[in-house]
Amino acid sequence: MSAAGLSAAPVAILVRRGERVESCHRVSYAIADTAGRRRHAGGDPDRPVFARSAVKPLQALVLLESGAAERFAVSQVELALACASHGGEPFHVEPIRRWLARLGLDQASLECGAHAPLHGPSAERLVRAGRAPEPVHNNCSGKHTAMLATARHLGAPLAGYTQADHPVQRWVAAALAEMIGADALPAPALDGCGLPTYPLTLGQLATAMARLAEPAALAPDRSAACRAICAAMSAQPKLVAGSGRACTAIMTVAPELVVKTGAEGVYGAALPSLGLGLALKVEDGASRAAPVALLALLEALGALRPEQGAALEEVARPVVRNHAGRVVGGIEPAAGWPDLQAARDAR
């Protein structure tokens, strides 16, 4: 990350303790339409960032386009889990076990590795039961199961499905390049779950999210896949993230929106009613600032009705508590961020 990139992004999110600002976070963002035209931006939207899990809805396109979803009768629940960064709660894990079994596989085929459930109570239950976390508890296990289904359908090797030169990953990369409007993608790095992750500009990610939101101009198979993914995420918000998670809260209150977080302070959002896509990056990677920034931008765009904004107040302006549970501060957008009129003009 260059010093220029940091200085270009304004202080957007403040963390207060009492009445004083204790910390602050800089945010870059882009809002684009389906033609790739930038409608509004702030900070440094042209600096490539790793979108991480924010691209999971785009990675899921190949499950549908390949014919694997139809062959293996993938349900809406399973499609939502393919797009998820789930919390490892039982209602996430058990459908993935059943999906693997239907493919004639078990979690030994998953190459994502294991980590404790992101959902605290679920992690505590494992500890109390004396059980170690398993690959199905990995927040990316739904996406990996979808890729195994695609590999099986294509007759490709199951082992090594995470490698960049595997047929599934080549298809994923081609679909992602088409959705962002590029001829090819830069060389990838490795994501936390072992899959390739590509550096994209926020403008490119916003373009892809706009096309996910309004796919009418895309090829028929791609358009149908985009609509199915948006419908699954909107209908099953608890599966996309889980209890106490911002993505789930936002899509529960505003099911007309499709939002997806990525590690290190990234968010992507598809806004079907506006025909726009949005992408943001918190420069220091702080996950506490990302949903606050996202909701500030959605409110500025007029993408939320007043009653929806009120219902999401705890996500938009979360309080800070001490270990005794007492409110000692809060997290909020900086005064004047984002530029309200410029954001509305983007519509």
Instruction: Quickly list DSSP for 220-233.
Output: HHHHHHHHHHHHHH
First to last CA, the chain: 31
Residue 196 is which amino acid? P
Q: What secondary structure letter does DSSP report for 331? A: E
CA–CA dist 168, 85 (Å, integer):
20
Task: Give just the sign of the alpha carbon dihedral 175, 178, 180, 186.
Answer: positive
Residues of the chain with confidence (pLDDT) below 50: 1-5
Per-residue pLDDT reduced to its tens digit, 242-269: 999 999 999 999 999 999 999 999 999 9
CA of 336: how far to CAs of 16, 32, 233, in Å? 17, 21, 32
Three-state secondary-structure class, residue 4: helix
> What token pair was written down for 76?
């809406």
Number of other residues whose CB lies within 10 A of the CB of residue 199:
15
The β-bridge partners of 270 are 258, 277
- For residue 128 the two structure tokens come to 């109390």
Domain ranges of the chain: 3-345
**pLDDT at position 1:** 44
What is the model's pTM? 0.94
Element holding 17 (H helix, E strand):
strand 11-17
Identify whether the C-beta of residue 218 lies closer than 8 Å to the C-beta of residue 192: no
Which pLDDT score is estimated for 9? 87
Query: For residue 119, what are the contacts with CB-CB under 8 A and spacing of at least 6?
Result: 87, 88, 89, 242, 243, 244
Per-residue pLDDT of 177-213, as tens digits, reads 999 999 999 999 999 999 999 999 999 999 999 999 9
Residues with Cβ within 8 Å of residue 318, at least 6 apart in sequence = 288, 292, 330, 331
Instruction: Give the C-alpha separation, 181 to 209, whole Å.
Output: 12
- Within 10 angstroms of residue 27's Cβ, the number of other Cβ atoms is 30
Residue 279 CA to residue 316 CA, distance in Å, equals: 17
Q: How high is the pLDDT of residue 8?
A: 73
CA 342 to chain centroid, in Å, comes to 25
